[in-house]
Amino acid sequence: MNGSNADNWQAANDPNLKSWVESANVPECDFPIQNLPFGIFSDRSNAAPRVGVAIGDSILDLAVLAKEGLLAQNAALFESISLNAFIATGRAQWRGLRARLSALLEANNAELRDNAAIRKRALIAKTDARLHLPVEIPGYTDFYSSKEHAINVGSMFRDPKNALLPNWLEIPIGYNGRASSIVVSGTPVTRPNGQIKLPDNERPIFGASRKLDIELEMGFIIGAPSSLGDALACERAEQHIFGMVLLNDWSARDIQQWEYVPLGPFNSKGFATTISPWIVTLDALEPFRCEQPEQNPQPLSYLRHAGRHAFDIHLEVGLRGDGESEAQTISRTNFRHMYWTMAQQLAHHTCGGCNVRVGDLMGSGTISGPTPDSCGSLLESTWNGQRPLQLQSGQTRSFIEDGDELILRGWCQGDGYRVGFGSCAGKVLPARATV
């Protein structure tokens, strides 16, 4: 069953498909039958975290379906606190399962639709569920691949005339980040303490960051490992990607500015990174593939790939001040602006023999567009605090204040439907007392 399903995986992307889960057919819904993203959830009736798939306003419990013999996989694969074991079964299995779920949820398929007993146990309302970190993440790498972002930051801190350092157009710049502090959307983020060098002081102080910021990013999850010593070819690198999430690389700009020379960010980034709970598979994103920006100079040969390797993903940042009912959109941009592609990032990451593992997370780097209202960080949109944002509440923001909730959203727009990522949110709590 899996073989034939896997071969026909693109059928699950048919824009005309509808589901008998009515909420999935609403055009603004992030989780139509064409999406079917994977996550880890628990609910009131069962506190054990397990694998689920989002459909409309519900979650499909894959362990229940497997136990009832409706899936080819063993239920134990889905009775797990992470997706790693399932992801490790490989791309033919991901594709076969997605095709099977698409068939089961299709409007005219009576198999699950008309079986009230199984449906009652297998379909859980999202409002009754708690979402967990979807993968165990062995390693986290963050790139710096938006040309607009790199030019903005280079202009601010170095020289507007030479904003890009000479290596930027040759290397997908990145650093090895911290995996232990990656949290799922909804987890509060405590303002970090750290060393800050104030302009008028000779020595740094130790205290709470005064320039707490976001970085709007996408992340991709490694689905197929590579061996130590092996370089992944750029042309085939996407085959190692399971799917994508929204990612907020929380950043303390004042700590960063003091610590980052000579070895890059450390405490300014290591305190928290938030990801969205649903992993949208690369297969579901296939219809939204598009042309990447032209690269000049042409990259070295190990970074070349023919064809289209960018993805058209609309992105938004919302800010909700403490006590406010509505979030205000403060930025709109698109993932397609990224100069370096995911395939190039992965080819470069492994070019010297560094291996990647199932569940590894790669951040894209802050995604900024070409206009001032399309910045992926407050650092850029307020120009390091010099031009505060005017909020509808009458307040202003140079950087994030305690009690602010920051909400990232992302979706691909199809004809009459969207393949969405849901949201990636975090509320900022005051810093811990210092000694």
In this structure, what token pair is assigned to residue 277? 């709970």
Q: Given the residues 149, 240, 337, 349, select the one marked as catalytic.
A: 149
Check residue 238 for interaction with Mn ion (CB under 5 A).
no
Under rule CB under 5 A, residue 148 binds Mn ion: no
Positive or negative torsion for Cα 351, 353, 357, 362: negative
Minimal distance, residue 401 CB to Mn ion, in Å: 21
CB of 64 to Mn ion, least distance (A): 38
**Nearer CB in complex with Mn ion: 61/142:** 142
Instruction: Let me know: does 312 contact 335? Beta carbons within 8 Å.
Output: yes
Name the residue with the smallest CB distance to Mn ion. Answer: 249
Residue span 126-145 as binding mask against Mn ion, x where in contact by CB under 5 A, dash where not: ----------------x---
Q: Contact with Mn ion (CB under 5 A): which of 215, 238, 254, 405? A: 215
> Which residue from 30, 61, 249, 404 is in contact with Mn ion, where contact means CB under 5 A?
249
Task: List, in order, residues 6 or more apart from 240 with CB less than 8 Å away.
Answer: 222, 223, 224, 225, 226, 232, 346, 356
Which residue, 142 or 259, has its beta carbon nearer to Mn ion? Answer: 142
337 forms bridges with which residues in the sheet? none
Is the link from the previous residue into 297 a cis peptide, with omega within 30 of 0?
A: yes
* Beta carbon of residue 8, minimum distance to Mn ion (angstroms, whole number): 38
Sign of the Cα torsion 139, 295, 157, 389 reads negative
The count of chain residues that interact with Mn ion, using the rule CB under 5 A, is: 3
Min dist CB 289 to Mn ion, Å, is 24
Task: Reply yes or no: is the peptide bond before residue 262 cis, omega within 30 of 0.
Answer: yes
Cβ closest to Mn ion, residue 25 vs residue 155: 155
Q: Is 434 exposed, middle or buried (0-12, 13-18, 19+ CB in 10 A)?
A: exposed
Nearer to Mn ion among residue 140 and residue 311 (C-beta): 140
Tell the smallest beta-carbon distance from residue 175 to Mn ion (Å).
Answer: 9
**Phi and psi at residue 400, to the nearest 5°:** -75, 140
314 is catalytic: no
Q: Which of 366, 388, 219 is nearest to 319 (CA)?
A: 388
Binding site for Mn ion (CB under 5 A): 142, 215, 249
Which sequence positions are flagged as catalytic? 149
